Amino acid sequence: MAFVLPDLPYAKDAFGSILSAETFDYHHGKHHNAYVTQTNDQLAAAGLEGAKLSEVIRKAKDAGNQKLFNASAQIWNHSFYWQCLSPEPQQPSGKLKELIDRDFGSTADLIAKLKAESAGHFASGWGWLVLDGDTLKVTSLHDADTPVVYDYKPLLTLDVWEHAYYVDYRNARPNYLDALLEKAINWDFVALNLDGKGVDRADQG
């Protein structure tokens, strides 16, 4: 079965000036969709028809098939990213808030660290909040690289490819990050990922 472009979990115009419908038209409708098409076009030659998306990503990585890895990993990363966003402002609570306070000091300190890591990431890639063992950590990965191939749990991602923000923020990546981190993070989804309950929403197959 071929992979498909997942529906957005909200309307394209739900974020107002934070992220425009035009951004979603291009980012979801064009860029994300292109990764789906590129992955499907390569599955037969790689002998991976019918495999789960996460399996395609890992096998492409192990085989050194960078073209398939890039396309399939970008499907997963984008599908995860959409879930990390919420048009309704939220704040961390419960166990997630306890871990944030323990490992960063406060939610404000975590947001500052996420912004610094993501704004300072050179060129294209992704900023991540992950659970490494029992500890929350902030990191970033280049290009299409993804936590699917690493031994930690992804909790939250921020897309820092220019196509994620250029329509609304031009080259001002820090302004885009400020808007998302202050007003548009789905902290409920982040909390689900502590127990691995949300991650499957990014997988297919």
Rounded CA separation 95/110 (Å): 15
- Residues 6 or more apart from 30 whose CB is under 8 A from it? none
Q: What is the mean pLDDT of the chain?
A: 97
With pLDDT > 90 as the criterion, what percentage of the chain qualifies? 96
Domains 22-83 and 94-198 are alike in CATH topology? no
Rounded CA separation 126/94 (Å): 26
Q: Is-contact 31 163, C-beta < 8 A?
A: yes
Q: What is the pLDDT of residue 200?
A: 84
The CATH number that domain 94-198 falls under is 3.55.40.20
Q: How confident is the model over 57-99, as pLDDT tens digits?
A: 999 999 999 999 999 999 999 999 999 999 999 999 999 999 9
Q: Is-contact 124 115, C-beta < 8 A?
A: no
| Closest by Cα among 175, 173, 138 to 159 | 173
Q: How confident is the model over 10-35, as pLDDT tens digits?
A: 999 999 999 999 999 999 999 999 99
Answer yes or no: is pLDDT of 196 > 90.
no
CB atoms within 10 A of CB 100: 21
Rounded CA separation 159/151 (Å): 21
- Using a cut of 0.85, tell me whether the model's pTM lies above it: yes
**Domain ranges for the chain:** 22-83, 94-198
Answer yes or no: is pLDDT of 124 > 90.
yes
Rounded CA separation 94/98 (Å): 6
| Closest by Cα among 199, 189, 83 to 152 | 199
Domain 22-83 has CATH 3.30.70: no
Answer yes or no: is pLDDT of 1 > 80.
no
